[in-house]
């Protein structure tokens, strides 16, 4: 458990290694996800510790801002600890139910936090990691950043607010990212609006030093923005998604996933055929049900408030362990590791629109 910290220069580091480290320096609360061997994947205890610390700092006038980061050199956060959720469901426990309720509440806290939050997105930022950073005011990527909502690959859907932030990316780029689960790098993250600043990873230490020396003059957000403006940039050249945007906007606006794949396979233009076939092959390796539900969820989310998007995701969660493909996806990819998931239905051709629609029954007009 992480102790609540408020006094300058103190830390909550126990003799034993904590999964969340909290420290205050120069009126800034630093939170570090500290499971580097597990790519800082989130457990329920970590979610609760982060929530407890943020709640405490929100009430502490000595804290002007919060910094989020991940320990180690590989990841900010590679998502939720999905193996523990699988084990919970298989054993008849309720951990998997509690986890999503509390994780979404934490993500919502960050979206609405009244003090600026700076997220250092070095390394992998996947799934639950994206949920933590997309509510932050200042999102920094590096050359090592790899962002994705890869849930369809394990038979799940992009949650943690993905139904809100993905469809608000210009055009159909967010639909593409959610339905395909592809990873993007720094230039694309900036282009899509999933990040605000780029900084070489070797300069993160210098950023820390300058945060420790920062003189608070204006509002905390403006002070932090001024500091980042001296070290980082907000645009990078050669974003691959910028080139692909016309094609993505065309294909991922089609009515359903089978139509998307069918038309991708019909591309004959030499410049676009390789990407189209690669994308079609990728989609056909994903869970058909997860992609179908994801497409519907994202299109609904485009017109919902943030709170209603989280309510929509919880509505799907409550059905998904029983009716969705997640348990089979985790079995194939993480438990047995045969990498041959038996999706239900097994193909896009067998995907029934009424079955997809059934996951959304019981929602009122606002999405709840």
Give the Cα separation of 13 and 358 in Å (integer). 48
Helix axes 270-285, 173-180, angle to 10 degrees: 50
38 catalytic per annotation = no
Q: What is the pLDDT of residues 334-355, one digit of tens each?
A: 999 999 999 999 999 999 999 9
Residue 63 near residue 6, CB atoms below 8 Å: yes
Same domain, 124 and 186: yes
Give the Cα separation of 123 and 147 in Å (integer). 8
Same domain, 205 and 71: yes
Domain that residue 196 falls in: 20-148+182-231
User: What are the angstrom distances between the C-alpha of 287 and each of 99, 147, 157, 282?
Assistant: 23, 20, 10, 10
Q: What is the pLDDT of residues 297-306, one digit of tens each?
A: 999 999 999 9
* Residue 12 predicted with pLDDT over 80: no
Do you know the residue count of the chain? 368
Catalytic residue (choose from 70, 79, 127, 128): 128
Catalytic residue (choose from 81, 107, 151, 313): 151
Same domain, 43 and 115: yes
pLDDT at 363: 82
Residue 153 belongs to some domain of the structure = no
308 catalytic per annotation = no
Q: What is the pLDDT of residues 15-36, one digit of tens each?
A: 335 999 999 999 999 999 999 9
Same domain, 122 and 206: yes
80 catalytic per annotation = yes
Q: What is the pLDDT of residues 205-238, one digit of tens each?
A: 999 999 999 999 999 999 999 999 999 999 999 9
Residue 37 belongs to some domain of the structure = yes
* Residue 13 predicted with pLDDT over 90: no
* Residue 150 predicted with pLDDT over 60: yes
Q: What is the pLDDT of residues 169-209, one digit of tens each?
A: 999 999 999 999 999 999 999 999 999 999 999 999 999 99
300-318 mean pLDDT: 97
Give the Cα separation of 149 and 160 in Å (integer). 10
212 catalytic per annotation = no
pLDDT interval class at 271 (50, 70, 90): confident
pLDDT at 7: 32
Same domain, 54 and 189: yes
* Residue 11 predicted with pLDDT over 70: no
Least confident of 37-51, 81-95, 155-169, 297-311: 81-95
Residue 325 near residue 341, CB atoms below 8 Å: yes
DSSP letter (8 states) at residue 18: P
pLDDT at 17: 55
Q: What is the pLDDT of residues 79-124, one digit of tens each?
A: 999 999 999 999 999 898 999 999 999 999 999 999 999 999 999 9
* Residue 280 predicted with pLDDT over 60: yes
Written as six digits, the tokens of 220 are 């905390």
* Residue 312 predicted with pLDDT over 90: yes
Same domain, 226 and 328: no
Catalytic residue (choose from 19, 81, 137, 159): 159
Same domain, 200 and 108: yes
Catalytic residue (choose from 29, 79, 80, 129): 80
Same domain, 189 and 333: no
- pTM of this structure: 0.93
* Residue 10 predicted with pLDDT over 50: no
Same domain, 210 and 307: no
Q: Which one is predicted more confidently, 145 or 97?
A: 145
Share of the chain above pLDDT 70, in %: 94
* Residue 364 predicted with pLDDT over 70: no
User: Count of domains in the chain?
Assistant: 2
DSSP letter (8 states) at residue 334: I
Residue 166 belongs to some domain of the structure = no
Strand, coil or helix: 267: coil
Same domain, 66 and 204: yes
Residue 293 belongs to some domain of the structure = yes
């Amino acid at each position: 458990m992480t102790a609540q910290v408020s006094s300058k220069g103190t830390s909550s580091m126990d003799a034993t290694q904590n999964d969340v480290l909290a420290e205050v320096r120069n009126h800034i609360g630093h939170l570090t996800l500290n499971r580097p061997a597990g790519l800082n994947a989130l457990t329920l205890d970590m979610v609760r510790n982060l929530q407890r610390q943020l709640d405490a700092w929100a009430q502490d006038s000595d804290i002007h801002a919060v910094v989020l980061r991940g320990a180690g050199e590989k990841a900010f956060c590679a998502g939720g600890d999905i193996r523990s959720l699988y084990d919970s469901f298989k054993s008849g426990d309720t951990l998997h139910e509690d986890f999503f309720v509390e994780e979404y509440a934490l993500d919502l806290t960050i979206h609405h936090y009244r003090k600026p939050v700076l997220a250092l997105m070095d390394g992998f930022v996947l799934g639950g990691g994206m949920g933590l950073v997309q509510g932050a005011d200042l999102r920094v990527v590096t050359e090592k950043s790899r962002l994705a909502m890869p849930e369809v690959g394990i038979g799940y859907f992009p949650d943690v607010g993905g139904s809100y932030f993905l469809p608000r990316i210009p055009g159909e780029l967010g639909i593409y990212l959610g339905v395909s689960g592809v990873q993007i790098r720094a230039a694309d993250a900036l282009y899509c609006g999933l990040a605000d600043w780029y900084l070489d990873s070797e300069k993160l230490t210098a950023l820390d030093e300058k945060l420790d020396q920062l003189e608070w003059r204006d509002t905390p957000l403006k002070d932090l923005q001024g500091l980042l403006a001296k070290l980082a940039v907000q645009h990078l050249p050669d974003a691959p998604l910028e080139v692909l945007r016309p094609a993505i906007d065309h294909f991922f606006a089609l009515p359903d996933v089978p139509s998307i794949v069918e038309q991708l396979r019909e591309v004959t233009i030499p410049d676009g055929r390789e990407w189209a076939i690669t994308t079609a092959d990728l989609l056909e390796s994903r869970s058909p049900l997860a992609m179908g539900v994801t497409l519907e969820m994202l299109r609904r989310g485009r017109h919902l408030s943030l709170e209603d998007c989280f309510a929509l995701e919880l509505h799907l969660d409550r059905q998904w362990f029983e009716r969705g493909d997640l348990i089979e996806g985790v079995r194939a990819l993480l438990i047995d590791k045969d990498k041959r998931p038996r999706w239900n239905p097994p193909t896009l051709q067998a995907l029934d629109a009424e079955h997809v629609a059934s996951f959304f029954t019981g929602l009122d007009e606002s999405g709840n």
